[in-house]
Amino acid sequence: MIVCFDIGGSAIKGAVAHSADRIETLGRRPTPLDDFGAFAATIAAVIAETGARPDRVAISITGVVYPDTRAIKCANIPCIDGRKLSEELADILGLPVLVANDADCFALAEAGAGAGRGHRIVLGAILGTGVGGGLVVDGRLINADGGFAGEWGHGPAVASTAGTPPVAIPIFDCGCGQRGCVDTIGGARGMERLHQALHGKTLASHEITTLWQEGDAEAARTIDVLVDLVSSPLALTVNITGATIVPVGGGLSNVAPLIAEIDKAVRSRILRKFDRPLVVPGECRVEPGLIGAAILGLGGEVQ
């Protein structure tokens, strides 16, 4: 038995996992952002709810783990930023602790229990507040020791023009320290930023997608430009990895027509041709982070 966690900037969600398909959720608690002692105590309190000693703890978390130092970079939770989180929690809890990026855990979940079942190479793509990704090959997470494989959302990849007809695209600064990342225009905040740049109007992403589906011309232009900008770097990532399925998670994955448009554009830009959808909404609609953490903690391999 293991205890797994899905930790974001707002909440710590826990579960007991006996197998990847036998997961019992535990309490949901606010994430302490500025006090590492309180953060660790919250983890310990959730484990105590089980009334048993688990074999290990597995954590899906926002941020990335540097494979050479094992330190985590996590802007959303300042009290853990720069810490060797797995080692420090292991010392406090007296248990082995595994830590992985939430996008990696999403990819694991989709490969083992979602849209990626039966595929050798699964690229999990996140279109949420921002853009991220994870890569599973032959049932195993490429980022097993930490790292950045599958992170197609970062790097100066945004085109200078996009859309039909083409329009000039501003180069935005990214929170990762670079400029022109897909993350700056591809997620919910990126969509809002694009709409403001194109039309001078401030709307929430859900308003833009709703107006688009209702036939609004300005929203349609924003979506056209976003799909163009996102699809080329995603297509390049598919070419490089050889992925045969790209499950999408995050809030924008709930907008099925948007995912269908991205799929159509990506399939037109890759070398290998598919006569079926390639970019699809993820099937693990409830707690994919917990499912992925469970798979990680139970051996890290999709069965």
What is the pLDDT, as a whole number, of residue 26? Answer: 87
pTM check: above 0.85 = yes
Q: Tell me: the pLDDT tens digits for 258-287?
A: 999 999 999 999 999 999 999 999 998 778
Q: Which domains does the chain have, with CATH numbers?
A: 2-104+286-297 (3.30.420.40), 118-281 (3.30.420.40)
What is the pLDDT, as a whole number, of residue 302? Answer: 56
What is the pLDDT, as a whole number, of residue 301? Answer: 57
CB of 5 closer than 8 Å to CB of 60: yes
User: What is the C-alpha to C-alpha distance for residues 18 and 192, in angstroms, rounded to an integer?
Assistant: 41
**Cβ neighbours of residue 91 closer than 8 Å, sequence gap 6 or more:** none
CB of 168 closer than 8 Å to CB of 161: yes
What is the pLDDT, as a whole number, of residue 158? Answer: 86
What secondary structure, in 3-state letters, does 203-239 show? CCHHHHHHHHHCCCHHHHHHHHHHHHHHHHHHHHHHH
Q: Tell me: the pLDDT tens digits for 9-63?
A: 888 999 998 877 788 888 889 999 999 999 999 999 999 988 889 889 999 988 8
**Cβ neighbours of residue 22 closer than 8 Å, sequence gap 6 or more:** none
User: What is the C-alpha to C-alpha distance for residues 116 and 42, in angstroms, rounded to an integer?
Assistant: 33
* pLDDT level of residue 108 (50, 70, 90 thresholds): very high
Mean pLDDT of the chain: 91
DSSP code, position 139: T
What is the pLDDT, as a whole number, of residue 43? Answer: 94
Q: 157 φ, ψ to 5°?
A: -115, -5
Residue 303 has pLDDT above 70, yes or no: no
Q: Which two tokens stand for residue 42?
A: 């919250």
